[in-house]
Amino acid sequence: MTLSAGEVHKLKQADPVDGVLPIFHQRWSPRAFSHREVAPGDLARVFEAARWAASSFNEQPWRFLVGTRNSLTYKKIHDSLVPFNQAWAGHAAVLILGAARTTFSHNSAPNRVALYDLGAAASYLTLEAAALGLSAHQMAGFDESIARKNFAIPEDFVLGAVIALGYQGEPAALSNEQMVAQEVAPRQRKPLKDFVFSSWDSPADLG
């Protein structure tokens, strides 16, 4: 028997760590979305959070194309997704495509961290979404050439990810067993010793 949405949400909550904000352990990325719409005020709030992400020279190179269900923007983003992602992401209330300008506005020099800064803004967005009780799932599975053509995106912009945003739905509504299995699996993360180092192959002593 497939777990309910509430049971899955409880399963996905990571154990708290003293001194770490709970939202980091509560946020996760579902594929099952309900048909509930996102209130315009909440949609504005997630982008307000993204607005305050740090960026090189305070360039804020990010640009988000946001489509609500049944809008032309939503259709254009959905049409760019690979079939696997189309099968579930089309149930989310909102689809968002992130892009970043790869040159600085003050001197036209290359901005090698533009994509990094876009990722930071997207991270703020997803954390604010979680704080509001929304769910967000970021995905790399889309056709960049289709997205560029659909929106006439200039070549000096790099594309990041597509984000499905909405409210968590019932896992049983997903279209195949692979998706259901991924939806109900416990979350896993590498331990700190696997990615925090004092030299290239030596884990840092964090006390």
Mean pLDDT by 10 residues, the chain (207 residues): 90 94 96 97 98 98 98 98 97 98 97 98 98 98 98 98 98 92 94 96 94
Look at residue 1 in the predicted model and tell me its pLDDT.
Answer: 62
Q: Are 130 and 120 in contact (CB under 8 A)?
A: no
Domain count, the chain: 1
Look at residue 111 in the predicted model and tell me its pLDDT.
Answer: 98
Residue 61: closest CA among 139, 120, 133 = 120
Q: Which domain holds residue 15?
A: 5-203
Look at residue 207 in the predicted model and tell me its pLDDT.
Answer: 83
CATH number, domain of 94, equals: 3.40.109.10
Model pTM score = 0.96
